[in-house]
Structure 1
């Protein structure tokens, strides 16, 4: 059924709309973004718990803000030890016996004024003082700590902001930062800290490749209407396994025991792989108990310890001989390379031990990622219990720092109001036995349904990347028969049910083999090839990446990759899912919503945009960022066209958004014969700190693109940021309000209690979770000329989540943003050369520069108009 206010946009848009501003009725300009027009009322109301804990006492004191500079420059962990020692030594005299808190870098906050405005201290860390009877080889480290008064932070302004009576001033921002530092200070002094999370090795779980997963907790001070909250969640991250470096090497190289290392290091590739994995790790030596120094691994020697030489007393000797003569012990593994930790400092691997608490920041491989998911995937009730356990660990009630600031925190998880939106009626082809139906619990199937518009597949071929002995032609034909029958049953037309089959070498020339298959497809029926079905032997990325690079950028034909394991005994459901992908790749349409349900789309020509920027992995200094944009091409928002740009690494704003929008507006006009009068823009991948810059830059780019096409062309624009990287989680209170896993029901929306005090944002859990605790998506409206009400935007966004083309489930993120994410991820495969070559270039580079725009091949124009990225 349609929602009561589903037509409110069209009526509001009948005259020229004005921008929804953040101005109150009294004329106070609260925000540069959009003020919440109202709170939603659609749907069934429920009560749920959210992992937010109210700050029940937020005093009106002036918090003292001090700037601190610690010399020499050291990591935050050392800075914290310096600060802790500083307060212990000088607290009573200079710090007014207060409990100041420190962010580990530049900021100190105190509930009391210090006994000075500016002062410099000299500190030597206690651990740098040698134990009795031991002579230090290096002098103890001396730190200079300069502290200077920065500002008084009046918390009254924060109270006004929370009440919706004042804009978010710099003073308010600093006050929220001070609260963040306050709640994180004590655990940061005790545990390993990463950003707003802290971790402990207790209960660490080992995964493959010498990596272990540490559990911990995330916490953040969040402003909501009328109160400050602490968002508390469980967190996990990867660390290197501590202990003997030899054992770590065995695990990184996938060996069984240290005895296998001799054979492994006959291969130079293994030496490079290990060097890349351990570069930057800190180790200690275990052959001399009195040496407490840490060494940082710079690289591995190209020669084994028995052949790595240096000058000792003007005599050249090798490392293995030196250890035998100096320490009276021979090396057990003289055939292994040494780690280089400085100029002419060579340490045999067997005397090195990896220091605990070193975070693994490189990208996890597929096996490690799967292991990580298994470890971190927790049912909702388990996660909720762990969060409450975190509250016990933090013990806010007995935190002397919070007490000194006069802060009190509730020990109960926040109970809030939510609504479960009704699902829309989904439409399939009229010839279906069930042409229209309303799904339940966010999932359905294709039984008795035909796709809304089935494509015709006449010219195609099958490429099997496997030896024919391992996958006989008869088995391939059996799979193809099942796939064809399923596609026809689902509404596609396949006049050629017996495509030619070729066998290819997965390690061979992928481009040549795909071109041969393309020619075979065309020659078989004397027409332009439409599709290549590729059967892959495994889930490895390099082969898949190379197939997509060649098909997307060189041949210009859609490919459908399937795993051999799924084709040996083909299941109807699997073939149906493959059919959904093939149909949209060929320009078909799988399902849609009736015009009455989506007046915003159908009352006037309207385009939906989705945009994303994909950044290279941490530590990757070679690859650029990739910006993607998709746009809907019909009034049903079921088909999309795409465009991609390569831009400077880690730049969040889209550099050529104007040019990308022009492309898609032209494609829309060529497809529909009309110019869009309304634009709804869903932007993925923007953090709160980037809202202002993205709004300023990207809305202007969209507007400029419109006027570039026609000086008088001014469609109304709504710009919505889509966020998945947050820690809000919801837990149903009643069993009847939960799905079968225990998550909130698909369609759960929250726009009160834990949202912004007055800006237009909401959380929508649009999907039914398959495992673990579902993460709602956060939508934040930055700009709105279409005058959306809360109900209309929430309802429309939820309905769109039923139209993701490659599955019969609602998805967790609105499809335009989801598609943009897929397009950007696909573009990663379009770098010149084979994927395996590209990976080695990427991982071996340690300096800036590297790949630029010219390294990436453009997607063929004929593919950009269909959903090739599915």
Structure 2
């Protein structure tokens, strides 16, 4: 707090500096630096949309029904009541939940109620089977139950003014007409939602599906959404894929899930196999086969029961009978696998049992459970498509959606181009990088990459007090293998300019399933005693890529020992390759306070003291529960070369996250002042992880948090702020038209930026491909400049963002998002490793422990060991 100023005075003054929700900054003139070119995008132009107003209706059903059945009822209602000459042959569209839109007002008045019969199946075959069942029951003299009847209520709620959308696209309306855009999006998705398996804005088909092992398969599909872009509406189309359960006999899935053969089924399953199977099959829909096609019924698996021999019931004659004996008596064929556990189907309290061998998996069920490593690898292989292949598949999607022959689009006057949009782009030149060493010359990367051959780190560090911990048995990590790797690592670090004052660090072998904290404390003691100095680092050899061991290592090193650790996998230790050791050295040097490289001639930041801050706030996922807190991470630059960064992280409930963020900003500003002896005059804030619907709310709260921090540092201190949102989760893709615009992977070259055509009609945003492609089609990053007191403009904003992709210290290639935001994401992820069990650590107290001097830590450990 500013000295001599009361809290009430600060609060009063801050009220004058705080911002309310403000209009986002308008798009400046596009940049001109770089080579102008054109690229193909995965957008198509909408050439026309409704001229007149559209009527919005609310739809509800009584009694409530699951969403999966709502579309079937809507189609039955449309066929019976609406799509007829009497009504006017109107074709409304529906979002599958509550919202219905009609290009012409329906002759229903303000509210109307209908009685709608539930269709007896999803397709003609299922409807025919329902009729067969009813006829067979009537022939046998049994009473039949007719189809269920639902009450459907349709209420007019609004009129959508499409003229406002035209005004918005022309730049004459400041607010986005979200209702009109939502209406067009539902028009676009209506017909595909009835024809294909639908997940969000994506549609999937079994044609071209590929097995993922374990009873799952990946289905190809397409994402489509409509959005304002470049003064028009455009449709964004992208290939998509997701996992579904394999249809067919349930026993086939059982064998794949458990990894057993058909002859193994006769022996039944042990408890472990039954538990694994129940976890996989719970909630899965199956269809019975023992009564033939006419008698088939569908059920949902609730859980697993005992086997068919052991499970009994009292039959109609009052005799106790096993499920196996019942099936043999009634259906004339004994069960082939009576030792297998039974399925408990439907309501688990009613104990309805069904043998697995008489069930088929209903097709089209999405696999919502987490894929295992092998399945994930197969999924990546399936989805990893070179740009020219992906572009071709997107063009096939245009033919699949057949916009010209879609009666719903025609009803609303929606017309779409039949080819992908060609956007104006420019390719900015790569920056020049500076390294250390007498013979080192500045280098301009090619295709976004460079190497360290004959180069030194710009500011190499020194390593003297360190130790090695192998979380393996000595026979699995032989001393000769370990020594060879440590020697290669030391040689590589020396070649890069680091001073390796101790090439024979003490070694400790530890049990990965044992007391990890105790092992690390012992290694800490050994490393310090070996050279009579506070340890600088521990090198950790891991047996595999498992997260729990890694998380515990980072928790102890970050929050208790207060020194960095460098983890390596044994398979790399065993190979001891120079390239791998070079990658490890990159990390070690910056962890020890060194500097790997710097970007020469960074634009703008050298003109005045400038701090660039990357911010990320992660909230617990629905599966983690409400008790987990949010994590806020800030990473700020400490020098004009953008080569040194400081981090601040807080683990707090979401309710007061912005108060905590203000304190974190103070921490970074103090660090900046200690390093440079100057206060920042400009702040550039790159914020990761904000959706479009949250832009205004989050931006306003965080700018006020920054303002509050600055005001508490010094009364009236008000540096200029630029607020930029970083978005990676989108479906925009670029495809080069000419070979000269492509890198080695076939993607557009690093430095390609698009600022028009597919961007917001009036707001300041741009798409930037800052990294080189590895495999598949690379994804550009989407930057939204929402607030710009620095008046950076497009030229400075795009060039600065691009060059900041080259200062990422842990690689010899440009990265996909701006480095400070990348670092903030890493810090936020690391903070989640600091939890032990259900308890989350207090970051501030952890930091103070980590900063304790070596003598104190040594004394503390001596008591514990």
Name the TM-score, length of structure 2 as normaliser. Answer: 0.88
Deviation string, structure 1 residues 795-838 (Cα, Å, up to 9, x no partner)? 000000001110010111001111111122223333314xxxxx
Deviations 1:397-433 (A, max 9, x none): 111111111221100111111000111111112x252
Residues of 2 paired with 1:424 and 1:211: CA distance?
Answer: 46
Pairing of 1:458-857 with structure 2 (within 5 A): 458-594=464-600, 596-600=601-605, 602-616=606-620, 619-621=623-625, 623-646=628-651, 656-833=660-837, 851=838, 853=840
Is the 1:87–1:95 contact (alpha carbons within 8 Å) kept by the matching residues of 2?
no
Q: Report SS of the residue matched to 2:650.
A: strand
Task: Measure the CA separation in 2 of the matches of 1:685 and 1:194.
Answer: 22
Q: Bigger shift: 854-863 or 178-187? A: 854-863
Alignment of 1:422-437 (within 5 A): 422-429=429-436, 431-437=437-443
Alignment-derived partner of residue 164 in structure 2? 157
- Distance in 1 separating the partners of 2:678 and 2:193: 58
CA distance in 1, matches of 2:660, 2:327: 60
Mark the CA change 1:305 to 1:612 in structure 2 (over 3 Å): closer, same or farther. Answer: farther
**1:278 aligns to what?**
281
Q: 1:788 and 1:710 mapped to 2: Cα distance?
A: 25
Q: How far apart are the structure 1 equivalents of 2:555 and 2:340?
A: 39
- Give, in whole Å, the separation in 1 of the partners of 2:180 and 2:490: 63
SS of the residue corresponding to residue 155 of structure 2 reads: strand
Match of 1:363 in 2: 370
2:89 is aligned to: 97
Residue pairs, 1:119-518, within 5 angstroms: 119-127=112-120, 130-132=130-132, 133-135=135-137, 140-169=147-176, 172-253=177-258, 255-260=259-264, 265-268=269-272, 270-289=273-292, 290-301=294-305, 303-308=306-311, 319-341=323-345, 342=347, 343=349, 344-429=351-436, 431-518=437-524
Is there any run of 5+ residues in structure 1 with no aligned partner, and where? Answer: 1-17, 23-28, 834-850, 866-870
Deviation per CA, 1:356-380: give whole Å up to 9, x if none: 2121223333332222111100001
Distance, in Å, in 2 between the alignment partners of 1:331 and 1:357 is: 28
- How many angstroms does 1:308 deviate by? 4.6
Moved more, 688-697 or 352-361: 352-361
For 1:330 and 1:784, how far apart are their aligned partners in 2? 76
Contact 1:558 1:863 in 2 (8 A): no
Alignment partners' CA distance in 1, 2:646 and 2:827: 10
Change in CA separation of 1:864 and 1:786 when aligned onto 2, cut-off 3 Å: farther
Cα–Cα, structure 1 residues 511 and 259, in superposed 2: closer, same or farther, change >3 Å?
farther
Question: Is 2:48–2:415's contact at 8 Å kept on the other side of the alignment?
Answer: yes
Distance apart, 1:183 and its partner CA: 1.2
User: Which region of structure 1 is more displaced relative to structure 2, 484-493 or 557-566?
Assistant: 557-566
Q: How do residues 34-113 of structure 1 correspond to structure 2 at under 5 angstroms?
A: 34-91=25-82, 92=84, 95-113=87-105
Aligned residues of 1:530 and 1:558 also touching (Cα < 8 A): yes
Change (3 A) 1:507 1:148: same
Determine helix, strand or coil for the equivalent of 2:80: helix
CA distance in 2, matches of 1:224, 1:333: 60
- Closer, same or farther in 2 for the Cα pair 1:522/1:348, shift >3 Å? farther
Gaps of 5+ in 2: 1-15, 122-126, 138-142, 853-865
In 1, the alpha carbon distance for the partners of 2:115 and 2:48 equals 37
- Change in CA separation of 1:570 and 1:713 when aligned onto 2, cut-off 3 Å: same
> Residues 363 and 617 of structure 1 are in contact (CA less than 8 Å); yes or no, is this contact kept in structure 2?
no
Once the two structures are superposed, residues 25-50 of structure 1 have per-residue CA deviations (whole angstroms, 9 ceiling, x without a partner) of: xxxx9x72111122111111001111
> Aligned-pair RMSD on alpha carbons?
2.9
Over residues 636-694 of structure 1, what are the superposed CA-to-partner deviations in whole Å (9 max), with x where a residue is unaligned? Answer: 22222223334568x99867322332333333334444332221111111111111221
Distance 1:330 1:520, change over 3 A: farther
CA-CA distance at 1:93 after TM superposition = 6.2
Q: Which moved more, 1:346-355 or 1:194-203?
A: 346-355
Contact 2:54–2:159 under 8 Å retained in 1: yes
SS at match of 2:463: coil
| CA pair 126-59 structure 1, distance change in 2 beyond 3 A | closer
Alpha-carbon spacing, 1:131–1:533, altered in 2? closer, same or farther (3 Å): same
Structure 1 residues 223-251: Cα deviation after superposition (integer angstroms, max 9, x where no partner): 02321111111111111222333332333
Give the stretch that moved more between structures: 193-202 or 59-68: 59-68
SS of 1:665's partner is: helix
Q: How far apart are the structure 1 equivalents of 2:839 and 2:311?
A: 38
CA distance, structure 2, for counterparts of residue 852 and residue 177 of structure 1: 42
CA contact under 8 A between 1:203 and 1:214: conserved in structure 2? Answer: yes
Q: TM-score, normalised by structure 1?
A: 0.88
Residues 633, 348 of structure 1: alpha-carbon distance in 2 compared, 3 angstrom cutoff = farther
Residue in 1 aligned with 2:859?
none
Shift of 1:291: 4.6
Contact 1:225 1:756 in 2 (8 A): yes
Mapped partners of 1:518, 1:234: distance in 2: 51
Query: Taking structure 1 as reference, are residues 158 and 545 closer, same or farther at Cα in structure 2, changes over 3 Å only?
Result: same
Paired with 1:645 and 1:564, the residues of 2 have a C-alpha distance of: 33
Residue deviations 1:44-92 (CA, integer Å, cap 9, x gap): 1001111111111234221121111123333444211111111111122
Q: Could you tell me how far 1:310 is from its partner in structure 2?
A: 5.6
Say whether the 8 Å CA contact 1:40–1:790 is kept in structure 2: yes
Larger radius of gyration: 2
Alpha-carbon deviation of 1:311?
A: 6.1
367-376 or 810-819: bigger deviation: 367-376
Moved more, 603-612 or 396-405: 603-612
CA drift at 1:125: 2.5
The alignment partner of 1:34 has SS state of: coil
Whole-Å Cα distance in 1 between the matches of residues 642 and 760 of structure 2?
30
Three-state SS of the structure 1 residue aligned to 2:234 is strand
C-alpha deviations, 1:303-337, integer Å up to 9, x for none?
44444556667776654455445545544444443
Q: Deviations over 1:94-126 (max 9, x none)?
A: 753111111111111111111112211111123
**Conserved 8 A contact 1:464-1:501:** yes
- Given that 1:613 and 1:652 are in contact with CA atoms closer than 8 Å, whether structure 2 keeps it comes out as no
Q: Distance in 2 between matches of 1:819 and 1:296?
A: 45
